[in-house]
Amino acid sequence: MNTFSHKVRSSAAVSGTALLLAVAGFGLAPAASAEESQPPVLTVDTAAPAEVGLAGLPVDFTTKVSDTGTTDTSSARLTYRIDGGAGLPPNAVGLEYRLDGTEWRTVPLTYAGGTFSGEMPETFPLAAGRSRTVQLRVGVPMGTPHNGDSNGGTEQLKLTTLVSYGASGAATDTDDDTIAVDGLDTGLSGVPATVTAGGPAVGFKATVTNPTASGYENVTDTLITSRYASVQVLRSGTWQTLTPVTSDAEADVYGFDVIGKDASLAAHSSTVAEVRVSYREGTPAGKATVRSCVYVNQGSVPFRGTTFCGKEATLTVLAAGSTGGTPAPTPTPTATPAPSTSPSASADAPSPTSGTTSGTSGASSQLAETGSNGTSTIAAVAGAFVLAGAGALGFVALRRRRTRA
């Protein structure tokens, strides 16, 4: 009797457990199905910079990722596409991010058909209903320090941000932005109409302006003249005679670095150099030109780097003994430029000053030649003009003009 009762109770217990498991299983199945049908809902909002400078330093911006759904994600992913058009070389664009801490890390980019694309190497978790902001910076370096590429340029970047989660990488949201690309301006002002061979020097100003949101490093402003010229620049109240820079490809072309070598320019700033030029007594009478060209990341090869040239100015060289020209003013003892505040600026380069100075558009004067084959920019794009009655060569830059719709 006791044995029978025990069996009945055991049997009932087993049946009850089975029923409980069955009921529990029936209740859990819909919950698992609902989770699978409700994935994380991620949205993205990128506050891209309005502009960057061609061959300048990168500009900061942010991307905000939000989980607007009811499901957490353990791995939010960010992918970027940057379309600069067909005019940019493969070394033109750089993208960096900072997820935690202070260290900037590179977003590896691949280049194809004018578009740079890459995924941020790190993912991050994001709870439902929460957001996270990622710091980034984008630039158009056009090469590397002291190895700038003078090939190409662009007026804008089209930046697309894509957000996804998990391993599949299917984007759940995208954000499109347009970033303007501008460049340095350079020009000469106050160039007199005439100068006498063997006579006094004539004075004028050479100005470099950075109208962009990018800072610039490794900037060299070069006054391009002929081999007959001697150039001085006013530094700390004293006129210093500059050593000419020449290229084997253009022996008759002389350049003079008027703001020093590898100077720096802050965003939205400018620098002005007081310059005077004289022509030796044997200079043939006729037309001569002077022109200011800025080279960013110029290396060991003269006149090569990302290049911006201003308009040329023409002087008439009068025969020795003639009267004419406007002699350069004698500096006063108080004419001392402010010291440079940039650690990477040349020790004798004038300090950038705030504001802008009128001149030709840097973006419209980008040289669009050479670069990777080691040939100097001047050799590839210089044209020659002839001083009246002589065979001396001067320099005429071929400018890449931007077209507008």
**Domain contains 396:** no
**Any domain includes 168:** yes
The enclosing H or E element of 22 equals helix 2-36
Specify burial of residue 273 (Cβ count, 10 A radius: 0-12, 13-18, 19+).
buried
Regarding whether 219 and 146 lie in a shared domain, the answer is: no
Backbone angles phi, psi at 386, to 5 degrees: -115, 130
Global confidence as pTM: 0.74
Spatial separation of the C-alpha atoms in residues 277 and 227, rounded to whole Å: 12
- Last residue of one domain, picked from the residues 182, 215, 243: 182
Task: For residue range 341-379, list pLDDT tens digits in order.
Answer: 333 333 333 333 322 222 333 333 333 333 333 333 443
In a domain, 387, yes or no: no
Domain co-membership, 85 together with 230: no
Query: Which CATH number characterizes residue 331's domain?
Result: 2.60.40.1510
Quote the mean pLDDT of the chain. 78
Asked whether residue 122 falls in the same domain as residue 214, the answer is: no
For residue 14, pLDDT over 60 is answered with no
Predicted confidence (pLDDT) per residue in 192-203, tens digit: 999 999 999 999
Name the token pair of 84: 């600069």
349 and 234 housed in the same domain: yes
Q: Which range marks the domain in which residue 287 is found?
A: 185-381
Do 139 and 172 fall into the same domain?
yes
Of 4, 149, 122, 23, nearest to 65 (Cα)?
122
Residue 28 lies in a domain: no
Summarised one tens digit per residue, pLDDT across range 201-229 is 999 999 999 999 999 999 999 999 999 99
96 and 229 assigned to the same domain: no
DSSP state of 92: S
- Per DSSP, the three-state class of 32 is helix
Q: Please answer whether residues 216 and 264 qualify as being in contact, where contact means their C-beta atoms are separated by less than 8 angstroms.
A: yes
Distance between CA atoms of 51 and 265, rounded to whole angstroms?
Answer: 16
Cross-strand bridge partners of residue 195: 317
| 132 and 213 in a common domain | no
* 342, 352 contact by CB (below 8 A): yes
In this structure, are residues 263 and 353 in contact, taking their beta carbons and an 8 Å threshold?
no
Does 169 share its domain with 285?
no
Q: Is the pLDDT of residue 394 over 90?
A: no
pLDDT digits (tens, 9 = 90+) for 264-291: 999 999 999 999 999 999 999 999 999 9
Task: Express each pLDDT in 309-349 by its tens digit.
Answer: 999 999 999 999 876 555 555 444 433 333 333 333 333 33
DSSP secondary structure letter of residue 288: E
**Does the structure show a pLDDT above 70 at 46?**
yes
Give the count of domains, the chain: 2
Residue type at 250 in one-letter notation: E
The verdict on 254 and 358 lying in the same domain is yes
Which of 182, 200, 232 finishes a domain?
A: 182
Does residue 398 lie in a domain region?
no
* pLDDT, position 170: 86
How many helices, marked H, and strands, marked E, lie in the chain?
2, 28
Choose one of 182, 202, 227: the last residue of a domain.
182
Is residue 298 in a domain? Answer: yes
What CA–CA distances, in Å, run from 136 to 46, 48, 166, 191, 293?
10, 9, 22, 44, 32
Residue 21 lies in a domain: no
pLDDT in the model for residue 323: 67
> Is the same domain home to 260 and 311?
yes
Residues 192 and 217 both lie in one domain: yes
The tens digit of pLDDT for each residue in 111-136 reads: 998 899 999 999 999 999 999 999 99
- E-strand stretches of 166-215: 173-182, 185-189, 194-196, 202-210
Q: Is the residue at 5 inside a domain?
A: no
Is residue 244 located within the same domain as residue 177?
A: no
Look up tokens 């662009």; give the residue. Answer: 154
